[in-house]
Amino acid sequence: VVEWTVKERSIISSIFSNLDYEDVGPKALCRCLIVYPWTQRHFSTFGNLYDAEAIKTNANIAAHGIKVLHGLDLAVKNMDNIKEAYTKLSTLHSEKLHVDPDNFKLLVDCLTIVVAAKMGSDFKPDVQATFQKFLAAVVSALGKQYH
Ligand code: HEM
């Protein structure tokens, strides 16, 4: 079980209450699809992913980026129970979508870059460390139903 200090809780709630989901979600997913092109294989029904420009202007990808980012709300709202909160999503990604769990880490690293770029000088070392700890807990929980 991951333990959280009062300070860490306040950092996480502040990051998410100031987060522009509509901007950050699409940017993080696009970055993942461009930098790690093998992740594109799961989105073949989403339309044209021919090059970076096509990925960045694909409305289905943008909508999915927002949806995935809202998937992190589960962890924000269940900080003391992150593993259980992701049981269903973990089973979906494993048994139905067959997403390699290594890709969760790649996506959250892309997200970290996008968030850091937006926060600028507010992305202090304690914010970075807490955000990494939070995302690591989510990645671990999403990987839990893989056998
Ligand atoms: C669907 C969250 C990582 C591929 C979803 C959904 C959520 C979600 C909330 C919608 C589930 C539903 O409709 O009930 C997350 C989170 C991730 C993550 C929080 C990591 C932090 C990934 C990665 C990939 C991926 C790395 C592939 C490389 C998919 C696909 C769908 C999906 C293909 C179904 C899309 C569709 O057909 O509508 N994910 N996801 N996910 N995810 Fe993830």
Q: Write the pLDDT tens digit of every residue in 16-53.
A: 999 999 999 999 999 999 999 999 999 999 999 999 99
Residue 147 has what pLDDT? 84
Ligand 1 pocket mutation pick from 64, 112, 135 by most atoms within 8 angstroms of CB? 64
Read off the amino acid at residue 147: H
139 CB contacts (<8 Å, ≥6 apart)? 101, 104, 105, 108
Q: Does the pLDDT of residue 54 top 90, yes or no?
A: yes
Rounded mean pLDDT, 70-98: 97
Q: Does the pLDDT of residue 130 top 90, yes or no?
A: yes
111 CB contacts (<8 Å, ≥6 apart)? 24, 28, 69, 135
Residue 1 has what pLDDT? 82
Q: Ligand 1 atom 34: the closest Cα is on which residue?
A: 97
Distance from C-alpha of 11 to C-alpha of 30, rounded to nearest angstrom:
26
Q: What percent of the chain has pLDDT over 70?
A: 100
Instruction: For residue 94, report the distance from its CA to the centre of ligand 1, in Å.
Output: 10
